[in-house]
Amino acid sequence: MKQAERIGTAEAIFLLWVILDTNIFLGLPRYFAADAYSAMYLMPFFSYLFTAPILWMIIRLREYHPQSIFTEIPGKLWGRWASILLTWIVAIFFTFSTGNYIRQFVSLINDAILPLSPASFLIIPFTLAIAFGAYHGPESISRANYLLLPVTLGGYLLLLLSAYIIGEPSLATPVFGPGLDQLLWSGLYRVPFFLEIVILTVLYPHFRSNKQFRQVVWLGTFLNIVLLALGLLAYALNFPAAATQNVGFPVFQLARNIYFGRYLQRVEALFTFIWVIMSIFKLSLSLYAGAITFARGVGAPFYQPYVLPLSVLTVVSCFLAPDYMTALEWEWGILRYASTGPFVALLALLLITSYWKAKKKSAAPRGKTPSIS
């Protein structure tokens, strides 16, 4: 397989913007409101406290395997059978999660914007768009996302500013909601809501150095946690937490609530445009992750031939959930929780095994982490 193209530091940091923060447009506010009530905007920070050790393990694992993706590492440590087995599991995971996200996205478009359009008329063009992005790889995705930041991030901040202006501060009180102890437990319980960080393990070869990767992971995740918290605060200032649990698309409703006379109204149109762009980037990366893991697992020299068949499977998985609420529950209530534990356990096992093998070799200069790629 050819040498992976590199992703710049700033591009990678804002690639995390579409990976992590796109979830605020779906069901994320519903669950955070159920846990923390008026303090829903603090939940990302408490979850980040418990996500930090996982990020540390991801960083350390790359120091041992800088040119390998996550599914290749078991093959190097335990044999090819382990890599092939993990490849199938990860490829199926990315395919199903991509299709389930599209199902939720199309539900919003159907319910709020194009109620007369059949779901297939929206799913197929959207899947073609993400397949195009996946075919060109993460370098092209990250650069396109970086170029469109004035539109996506700028529009997002405009939405937040407008929401702050019309917000009611009393809705965000008490400040700590149910209490710090409850926020801590809820933060731990909601760590699976940041499962997208698994994509970082597929992008190992696209970073120039371990130092760059550390900067991207720590700075990028914290910056985007702040942006996510600001979005939740904007929502908390405009809607009571008790009502949020019954709203299908909370942030879309927030956008519809913004009105400043003839000069600023119908903000939901801007919101939808931003969400479409961000979702295409995020799902293109997810589809790429499925294709590259499968290609590396079977020893293929290129991943592009696998984009089309995985796109077809993605379309099929879109129709598995009969409605939006089912798709929401499958992702936020089942898939993320069923996947996070095994991922963290495998990550820890790979890290321990890599450390043990590197220590046995002891061929690297003292003070540096030996690479066993």
What is the tens place of the pLDDT at every residue in 47-100? 999 999 999 999 999 999 999 999 999 999 998 899 999 999 999 999 999 999
Question: Which residue has better confidence, 327 or 369?
Answer: 327
Query: What average pLDDT score do residues 175-199 get?
Result: 94
Answer whether residue 249 shows pLDDT above 90: no
pLDDT band at 255 (very low <50, low <70, confident <90, very high): confident
Rounded CA-CA distance 107/310 in Å is 22
Look at residue 246 and give its three-state secondary structure: coil
C-beta separation of 281 from 144 below 8 A: yes
Residue with tokens 């063009």: 125
Class of domain 9-361: mainly alpha
Angle at 19 between CA 197 and CA 73, to 5 degrees: 35
Rounded CA-CA distance 156/20 in Å is 14
| Chain centroid, CA 340 distance in Å | 13
pLDDT score of 263 = 63
**For the chain, domain boundaries:** 9-361
Residue type for position 97: S
